[in-house]
Structure 1
């Protein structure tokens, strides 16, 4: 696969789960997961979907010796999480046991949230052969989620994790989800322009999505969701059709070229390397002329919206930017 997001094999800073490895297993994890799996081994589990907790996560680390375990870090208050959840559910079902999906409520499981450095959600990671891999941050459209899963399965195969899961029971719903529609109210619909933008993102039509978000902002400049959505879809649009090697080679060949550095900073941010993206642009900023400085400042403000203005990394970067401006 040639387009971003980056291949998991190139991701740095994978989280350290060593503090969880020796925790006692709790309920609601897959039963009898082996500590190591033979090539092509098939396990029988009650579902492809599980709820991960601080107490039971050790069992999923064991399971990752046989089949990749994808981790969805979410929270009930997170609107982009609600956009990503049905995409992950569909993709998991379509891959029919080549990986399992573990959903982690970061509010209820602070140790896991800290282990995966989940300062911005939704965030998606994986465990392969007991080792953590960062995948992406934010609600990506379905085609890009599928690309990331393909890369993850390639990485798993390279590490001998080639097992699969056969479901004993209802494979069509997450574990414990039977009757959920009756037990829980349906989520509130998105505002019309937000829904229009989301549908366009699903189709890969980033220009239409940006137009919808700009219209929403024109109607209500205080619509923070639209501002953040516009920043995120603009990032996706800039990266569309660009290859990882192309972007990194151009940046390495021209360290003082603001366009090349902005492009690779986009790549860093899309892969979850928030501090790397900030550091790259903030280090470049003092070396630039007024026009290029303005472009970098505008891009950083977009990044702040994508990551979240209250995120500690944003607070630090905003302070550094202010010191450079004044």
Structure 2
């Protein structure tokens, strides 16, 4: 299978679509609904069994991620939800690149999240970055089609479709905040400008809402990256933020605040505050806030 047989296209890495807490709630919900053996954590020791051998009967999708990676917190729940929905037609093998550097090196991973497929022991690049659910689903559907053409159309032993009415447990996580449903729908449709408007509507009703502020900033980041007309430090900061590299993003904007004045300085400051909202409680935020205050005063 050639790379061109899949609908490959460039994708920008983004931070979580909502807060880290909400992303984790989605992940836990997906994991609880996935049949046994459909989502597995892979190590160097288990790679042969869980990836190479398994790929002889079902396609294996490799999710290469790290705990510090903001975009990974967006993509992983999507992949896990699809793994549960497809009920054993593919295996989602998750690789922590920090813990499993040999695997990351073998796949020549340059940025994360990175997603590969393995069919009959052969690795195939799928995509990089946190794509919306419809695009991820398109990759999976095309992968299954190509796998079937190559005689790989089994299912994971013992896997059955997840129940459409999961049992409710006493400690079940709360649902996603309904105020953000319109924003999530717009994001899934790839309409980032509309998503930003939906978050702004929440802000109008509840000024100062941290989740809505983060949502607006994140959607504006995606719009800028798709537009591609930023230059200099502002562009450098956006690219670094999209990769979850907060120290680099913050440093670029703080340097811009120091080097400019007037409207340019205000623009860099406001951009930095938006990135603070997206980064949330990332350890890089606190020292960057101190550095910004020093640069301003």
Q: If the TM-score is normalised by the length of the shorter chain, which range does it land in? A: 0.5 to 0.7
Q: Which residue of 2 aligns with 1:69?
A: 62
CA pair 268-143 structure 1, distance change in 2 beyond 3 A: farther
Q: Which residue of 2 aligns with 1:88?
A: 79
Q: Tell me if structure 2 keeps the 8 A contact 1:73–1:113.
A: yes
TM-score, L = length of structure 1: 0.55
- RMSD in angstroms over aligned alpha carbons? 4.4
**1:181: Cα distance to partner?**
2.1
Q: In structure 1, how many angstroms separate the alpha carbons of the residues matched to 2:267 and 2:44?
A: 46
CA pair 86-313 structure 1, distance change in 2 beyond 3 A: closer
Q: Secondary structure at the match of 1:69?
A: strand
Q: Which has the higher helix share?
A: 2
Q: Which residue of 2 aligns with 1:213?
A: 199
Q: Tell me if structure 2 keeps the 8 A contact 1:4–1:239.
A: no
Q: What 5-or-longer segments of structure 1 have no aligned partner?
A: 7-45, 75-79, 104-111, 117-125, 154-162, 248-257
Q: Tell me if structure 2 keeps the 8 A contact 1:3–1:240.
A: no
Q: In structure 1, how many angstroms separate the alpha carbons of the residues matched to 2:247 and 2:45?
A: 31
1:79-98 CA-partner distances (Å, limit 9, x unpaired): x96x756521255466954x
Q: Which residue of 1 aligns with 2:92?
A: 100
Q: Which residue of 1 aligns with 2:249?
A: 277
Q: In structure 1, how many angstroms separate the alpha carbons of the residues matched to 2:282 and 2:94?
A: 24
1:98-142 CA-partner distances (Å, limit 9, x unpaired): x62439xxxxxxxx79859xxxxxxxxx84638776424997532
Q: Secondary structure at the match of 2:158?
A: coil
CA pair 214-72 structure 1, distance change in 2 beyond 3 A: same
**1:164: Cα distance to partner?**
11
Matched, 1:135 2:126: no
Q: In structure 1, how many angstroms separate the alpha carbons of the residues matched to 2:137 and 2:232?
A: 27
1:136-175 CA-partner distances (Å, limit 9, x unpaired): 49975325657999xxx9xxxxxxxxx99962221655xx
Q: What 5-or-longer segments of structure 2 have no aligned partner?
A: 1-7, 14-35, 53-59, 115-128, 144-151
Equivalence map 1:1-326=2 (5 Å): 1=8, 3-5=10-12, 47-50=37-40, 52=41, 57-60=43-46, 66=52, 69-70=62-63, 86-92=77-83, 96-97=89-90, 100-102=92-94, 127=104, 129=106, 134-136=111-113, 141-143=132-134, 167-170=156-159, 172=161, 181-182=166-167, 184=169, 187-240=173-226, 242=228, 259-308=231-280, 310-326=281-297
Q: In structure 1, how many angstroms separate the alpha carbons of the residues matched to 2:138 and 2:291?
A: 35
Q: In structure 1, how many angstroms separate the alpha carbons of the residues matched to 2:10 and 2:265?
A: 28
**1:201: Cα distance to partner?**
0.7
